Amino acid sequence: MKKHWKPTSLISSLSTSRPWRSYTEMLRPEVQSLADDISSMKTRGAGRIARASVRGLMITASKSVATSRGEFIAEMEAASKALIATRPTAVSLPNGVRFVMHRLSKAASSGTPLQGLRESVIKSGEEFIQRSLEAVKKIADYGARRIEDGDVIVTHCHSSAVVAVLKEAARQGKSVKVYSTETRPWYQGRITASRLEEAGIPVTLIVDSAARYFMKKADKVLIGADAVAANGAVVNKIGTSQVALAAHEARVYVFVAAETYKFHPESMVGKLVEIEERPAAEVVDKSFLDSHPGVKVRNPSFDVTPSEYIDLIITERGIIPPQAAILVLREEFGWLPSEGGALSLGEEF
């Protein structure tokens, strides 16, 4: 008699607090390299790392030499946990993994043979990547409608969705000027500035601490998101909350551009978004740390901006107030408490 897996079994088991390298003995070299690129921030941006993680699952499936369904599922589960552990805050990554693994779980539950399980992973991975890319195009269309001719806009960090909105507004003939914070310590704001320059959009790069100084010149703040909680709070690159606070003080609108796969389903039942803390050496040289052993360096990668400092969230499903995030989560993901109290994602992405 064949063993059948419950639809919730794979999803429920994906949460992990182990470092991703503890899974490397179970990963293919190509997936190890991909996970290392995500962890080291060679691959950056919530959308990019989500798509990269899904590609990792597709590689694992296509090159698996498993001879049984059980071996294949164990291999996929190990790859999933390793990829999720690379960047704990960016919820787009585990949501991408869950999108694929949920469909694998359903296929396994229905008794699909080994080759069918492999095909399920590859097909659902292709579907997620396509939806992800299409989402940015839709956000650009919705968001550009909220940009007015002559607007001065402040951005923070780098977001493909934000750049897409601004490029679409420019394509429509709207004249905009942008202040882009440099976004230490990885300077992702420079990526934003370079993309806007390439598109012919006037952009000025400013230091992070100058955001409040320039806010009096701004009409809108446009930022991305690494995660959106059920209460409408936005988790994004460290410094985002300070930019939003300065905008609130100056009575400047704050718009967030975020795909719905960045919404955090587990926040519906009170789970907090984990804030990643990265190495001190990203902030100061190792030589400084060695010569000043008494100096402690903190390097949180993200902060949380309360919903009251956000005016609108622009998604591929339309524009919503932050308070409606819970409705998006219920509609997009659906959930049921599993036997272990973890969440089982619904059918629809």
Q: Where are the domains of the chain?
A: 9-137+334-345, 138-331
Residues 331-340, mean pLDDT to the nearest whole number = 51
Token pair 């490029």 is found at 167
The CATH architecture annotation of domain 138-331 reads: 3-Layer(aba) Sandwich (3.40)
Specify the DSSP class assigned to residue 70: H
69 CB-near residues (< 8 Å, 6+ apart): 2, 3, 108, 113, 114, 117
Query: Token match 């190792």: residue?
Result: 286
**pLDDT digit string (tens) for 163-182?**
999 999 999 999 999 999 99
Q: Is it the case that residue 14 has pLDDT exceeding 50?
A: no
pLDDT in tens, 118-138: 999 999 999 999 999 999 999
Taking a C-beta distance cutoff of 8 angstroms, is the pair 56, 79 a contact? Answer: yes
Tell me whether residue 219 is one of the annotated catalytic residues.
no
Which residue is catalytic, options 36, 37, 157, 311? 157
**For the chain, the helix, strand and coil percentages under 3-state DSSP, each to the nearest 5:** 50, 15, 35
222-271: per-residue pLDDT in tens? 999 999 999 999 999 999 999 999 999 999 999 999 999 999 988 887 78
Strands (E), 208-259: 220-223, 227-228, 234-237, 253-257
* 149 is a catalytic site residue: no
Q: How far apart, in Å, are the Cα atoms of 65 and each of 28, 35, 71, 314?
A: 11, 20, 9, 43
Q: Which of 226, 285, 303, 311 is catalytic?
A: 226
Taking only the tens place, the pLDDT of each residue in 275-292 is 999 999 999 999 999 999
Question: What is the CATH architecture assignment of 9-137+334-345?
Answer: Up-down Bundle (1.20)
